[in-house]
Chain A
Amino acid sequence: MDVVALSRWQFAITSVYHFFFVPLTLGLSVLVAMMETMYVRTGNATYKRMTKFWGNLFLINFAMGVVTGIVMEFQFGMNWARYSAFVGDIFGAPLAIEALLAFFLESVFLGVWIFGWEKLSKGMHLAAIWLAALGANISALWILTANSFMQHPVGFAVENGRAVMTDFWALLGNPYLWTQFPHTVLSGFTTGAFFVLGISAYHLVRRREVDFFRRSFQMASVFGVIAIFLVILVGHSQAQRMVQFQPMKMASAEALWESEDPASFSLFTVGDEKRRADVFAIRIPALLSVLAYNQPTGLVKGINNLQAEYEQQYGPGNYVPSVITAYWSFRIMVGTGFLMMALALLALYPTLRGRPISQMPLVKFFPWVIALPYIANTVGWIFTEMGRQPWVVMGLMKTEDAYSPNVPAGAVLLTLIVFTLVYAGLMAADVYLLRKFAKAGPPAPESDKDGKAEQTPEFETAVP
């Protein structure tokens, strides 16, 4: 493998791994902050125990997100020096702003939150977790500002062989950003919700800490339904922008070889990438046009037509991403999304009707559904990034031109192997700790200062 391929593998592995931890940070930080808010408002000690129990799981996950994030900050320069020099004028700004506005907020107030239980007033302590959660979610805004530029460059000009920023507000107002940002953050909220639902269900089935986990489950079910509903809604408008800004990505996601009007939606396609043709396909007529334009007609461009168009515009070359990757990653993401929607609604039902959660259908499978948002998050990013190929910045720079010319392939191979091994080891330690604490449940309630222990009902009862 050459240095470009190795660098791509390293970027793929380190970023997928990084994003394994980020969504839970985004969602669980908000859920923990909501739990502590309930504690401060009601004084109910169960909410304090919830804050600490879920907060502990949050921190185990958070540490991994932070340290893997450091690599992301420096990797552009290490492995993609030509890219960094070419777009740094634009791309560096959101990264610097992210560190200044988000990372400081997140890390300082999280430190205060972890260590400040005895040192701060209730209100200040609550403010600390909200500020940390805010920091985490603001960081998503800025890093996605940078990523949106790669998907749909705006607010720039090319001068002396470098892209330079001409309009900061255009960069921040990038229409691509304002679907990608909510889609990503809400996916994080969904991840947090499913994490809490799954672990709570595990304990509720075993009739342990029923009051504690019922409250957790109920909170997460409401949060989760809202989040996944919005994820899908925003995802729909994101796909519409994709038709507009990245038609090749859309065409690949649909295995649409030739332009169609009205365009059909692929239910299942086995294609031949070399010949760029279907081997076997079931397609629903006009549905893609409906999805793209909210009406039964409308041109959706096909892969072959776009290839010809790009050859005219950018010169000879292959402008088609890996269709099989784009097609299946898109389908798995969307399919998992709708499955999560159904499961979230299922989980909401006992919450709304005040029914015991332990009797909910499929409740025993809920610990396993924690995997679903992780699958969707991962394939979602694989689709976003792989679907943009061969471009690193859409229409401006190809990935094959973005590498560091002075870094030998051997060095990248070495770092690729070591990162992968170290990350695997850390992942094992992380999963071990998460499992251990999740299965153990919260520690026994501490007595209040006035000596009365909190109430923990033994049996789950219906609440209006």
Chain B
Amino acid sequence: MDLNTLWFLLIAILYIGYFVLEGFDFGVGILLPFLGKNDTQRRTIINTIGPHWDGNEVWLITAGGATFAAFPQWYATLFSGFYLPLFLILLALIVRGVAFEFRSKDEHPLWRKSWDWAIFGGSLVPSFLWGVAFTNFIRGVPIDGNFVYVGGFFNLLNPYALLGGVVSLLGFILLGALFLALKTTGELATAAETVARRAWAPAGVALLAYVIATYFFTDVLKQLGVNPGPVPLGAPIFLLVAGYFIYNRRSGWAFTMTVLAVVSAVATIFMILYPRVLVSSIDPAYSLTIYNAASGQYTLRTMTIITLIFLPFVLAYQAWAYWVFRKRVGSKAEELHY
């Protein structure tokens, strides 16, 4: 495996990690106003992701930084091309992050309510837009011979991409509901299980439609950079199994299966892309690839060494942080730090 492929793989892993981790905390944020019947319940919900949301978001920052370092042309074309959607995502992440920290620091009901809706909107918008963005990666967007995106904003809002947005949105809601079922107790946990049951079927239908649409709207059958084998089947199968556990109220297993579904779905997208990183709808020759968008070998080698040294530590202490906060969050006021 050459270094370009290794970095493509690393970035894929970063996005997979990001969508799993921030996927459930987006879902929790979306469900906040609906599941939290009173202030204590709402605080409990926020506290389930309190210790983690910031660390989860760093997966995205690292993916962005890694893209910049390893594939500067990808970084330049993608972020300037997807200017407005990315702006909306950033705006959402800004108000959402501040909302977690500020919300419970003042008693006024209007203050708290406003930040609750900021958390809701700040979770909803990126949940939807990430699906739209990633679908456009594989569908192809107008990129000219200078690697410049020449489509407008509305070009990105095609039906197939919007379907992708619905899939990611429903998937994250399902993840969030299952996470809450695992991390809360009593009434709240039961309500979360109910949401998971209701969200499962729509998520499954949307995913199935998306898989079928992917065969029609992308060149997945024609150009296989890497043969994905059974991976594309993973997402629907894992989601189906998740349904079994959801209906048998085994939330732990249901959560695990949904995580695997997300992993398979994102992995499939990167497999369809490989060795491209952005598909040009104008001319296949204009597509950005892991070679024509890459940094030099010196930079890739240096970054590889640094990553191999430090990544294990990062993974270990983040896993440890999840271990520290493995217990369900109660509703005792002194344990609610947010």
Contact = CB atoms under 8 A, between A and B. Distances in A.
A60 B105 contact: yes
Contacts of B68: 76-77, 84, 88, 91-92, 95-96
B283 interface: no
A112 B62 contact: no
B52 to A, nearest CB: 6
Interface stretch (B34-42, B80-88, B237-245, B260-268): B80-88
A436 B153 CA distance: 42
A92 B65 contact: yes
Interface stretch (A99-107, A309-317, A323-331, A358-366): A99-107
B77 A433 contact: no
A315 to B, nearest CB: 24
Nearest to B152: A408
A81 B82 CA distance: 12
A81 B75 CA distance: 8
Contacts of A96: 62, 65-66, 68-70, 303
A430 B94 CA distance: 13
Interface centre among B61, B64, B325 (most CB of A within 10 A): B61
B279 to A, nearest CB: 17
Interface in B142-162: 147-150, 153
Contact of B76 (A81, A119, A426): A81
Contacts of B72: 84-85, 87-89, 91-92
B54 A100 contact: no
A66 B317 CA distance: 20
* Interface of chain A, main secondary structure: helix
B28 to A, nearest CB: 15
B149 A406 contact: yes
Contacts of B69: 88, 92-93, 95-97
A285 B83 CA distance: 52
B258 to A, nearest CB: 23
Nearest to B314: A104
A199 to B, nearest CB: 17
Contacts of A165: 295-296, 298-299, 302
B335 interface: yes
Give the size category of B's interface with A.
Answer: 35 or more
Interface stretch (A26-34, A67-75, A252-260, A288-296): A67-75
Contacts of B106: 433, 436
Nearest to A95: B65
Q: Most A CB atoms within 10 A — which of B68, B70, B86, B93?
A: B68
A450 interface: no
A419 to B, nearest CB: 8
Contact of B54 (A91, A111, A159, A166): A111
B94 A78 contact: no
A371 interface: no
B80 A79 contact: yes
Given A88-B73, A115-B337, A437-B105, A67 B94 contact: yes
Contacts of B334: 118
Contacts of B77: 81, 85
A112 B105 contact: no
A343 interface: no
Please give me the 3 A-B residue pairs with the lowest Cβ-Cβ distance, nearest first.
Answer: A88-B72, A77-B79, A92-B68
24 contacts: A66-B97, A71-B90, A74-B79, A74-B86, A74-B90, A76-B68, A82-B76, A88-B68, A89-B299, A91-B72, A92-B295, A93-B299, A99-B58, A99-B61, A99-B66, A108-B54, A109-B317, A118-B334, A120-B324, A164-B295, A411-B83, A419-B91, A426-B98, A437-B105
Interface of A: 59-60, 62-64, 66-71, 73-74, 76-79, 81-82, 84-85, 87-93, 95-101, 103-105, 107-112, 114-120, 159, 164-166, 168, 404-407, 411, 415, 418-419, 422, 426, 429-430, 433, 436-437
Given A70-B60, A89-B296, 9 more contacts: A67-B98, A74-B79, A77-B80, A91-B68, A97-B65, A103-B58, A108-B321, A114-B51, A159-B296
